[in-house]
Amino acid sequence: MTAHRVAVTGIGVVTPLGIGIDAFWEGVLSERVAVAPITRFDTAGYRTRIAAQIDAFEPRAFLTAKRLNWTDRFSQFSIAAARLALEDAGYNASAASGDVGVYLGSALGGLAFADEQHDVFRERGLDAVKPLLAISVFGGAATCNVAIEFGLRGPTVANGNSCASGAVAIGDAFRAITRGDVRAALAGGVEAPLSPLVFGAFTVIRAMSERNDAPQAASRPFDRGRDGFVMAEGAGVLLLERLADARARGARVYGEIAGYGLTNDAYHMSAPRPDGAMNADAMRRALDEAHAAPADVDLVNAHGSGTPLGDRCETVALETLFGERAASVPVTATKGQHGHALGATGAWEAALSLLALVHQTVPRSVNTDDADPACNLALTRTRLERRLRTVLSNSAGFGGINAALVFRRLDDDG
């Protein structure tokens, strides 16, 4: 059976830098940083008191009043990003709803809402707890709410693969379309982690930056002074279609998903494997599926979380993959601006990879001002305008999960 080629025709994002793909891209190119002191809850006593919040999100712009009453922030982000992706693609999902799937990843799902309702329970008793809680905390709540909102009857698949989950969801949807399981899919990641206990759990393990007095400079991918990631919230959803279907309806195509790789370090729950071997293998598998070699990669969109161990191990993985070329292939790392929204970030970075292909533009790696000599990569010090055909996007997460995606620009005859 011939595998179907997979195009991306719609992008929907809810991010701290802007809502909607144009606002997000403009925010990245402006080099604005969205990190600030947390106002969502009292952070007194926390080692980390900063995050990349989304203060401008208005769920009523995306959901009816009735649906608002039956969704938490986690699912509202998902529906909003999915609606933006469908609108961006000009796609009538109801016309083939049985053949459209929903694939979303999230590290934490509805835990923040559970945290909030636990406080209600302790202060006011069980009768005060919202009935919504029971249908909000499971990982599949977002996929199911998106399916219900848009009447999609294809497979709904949720994954909880930590900070790689958005990339995993896109890869799983890509494979489903390639195999012929579905003709199209909404795929990406979502995270709503900003609650006292959920956020606090990451401060306990000292995974986040403690630059509370300089939030704009806190997220520093591959920088000598990096001291941890900065948590963010939001969602990113792509509309994937069979390339033949996209062309038949005259759709604008951002690019093609050409390969996907997924591995596990099998090493440690919170620390990456020091030799980066399985991260490199995930990227190699993605390139092999795309029938591409490391020499074909024009740009790497790095995970670049800004953690001391993570960035060094990712560097080793890229050195393993590219060899001597590791010091010259352009690498962009944008978490310095929008922070790390855990499961959603792989989807944001997939979107940025596609926009780089469309605009032939590579964003600067903001806050990587004093690159760590141990991270000898060609990090973008300025915005680049150059020919791009193949972009490799790398994601990694707790539990040793590594996911990589290959995006390719479609030539006029491609």
**Within 13 A of 384's CA, how many CA atoms are on the CB side?**
18
Q: Which of 303, 313, 338, 375 is catalytic?
A: 303
Query: Are 99 and 154 contacting, i.e. CB atoms less than 8 angstroms apart?
Result: yes
Question: Could you give the 3-state DSSP secondary structure of residue 168?
Answer: helix
Q: Report the run of H or E that residue 364 belongs to, with start and end.
A: none
- Maximum Cα–Cα distance for the chain, whole Å? 65
Question: Which of 226, 360, 249 has the alpha carbon at shortest distance from 298?
Answer: 360
Q: At what angle do helices 73-89 and 111-124 cross, to 10 degrees?
A: 150
Which string of DSSP letters, residue by residue, matches 67-110?
A: HHTT--HHHHHHHHHHHHHHHHHT--GGGGGGGEEEEEE-SSTT
Q: Return the amino acid letter for 11.
A: I
Q: Which of 144, 163, 313, 375 is catalytic?
A: 163
Catalytic (active site) residue 163: yes
Token pair 């499961």 is found at: 343
Residues 130 and 95: their CA atoms lie apart, in Å, by 35
Q: Which of 4, 313, 338, 340 is catalytic?
A: 340
- CA dihedral over 178, 314, 294, 368, signed as positive or negative: positive
Catalytic (active site) residue 291: no
Catalytic (active site) residue 4: no
Q: Return the amino acid letter for 247.
A: R
Q: Report the run of H or E that residue 15 belongs to, with start and end.
A: strand 6-15
The residues annotated as belonging to the active site are 163, 303, 340
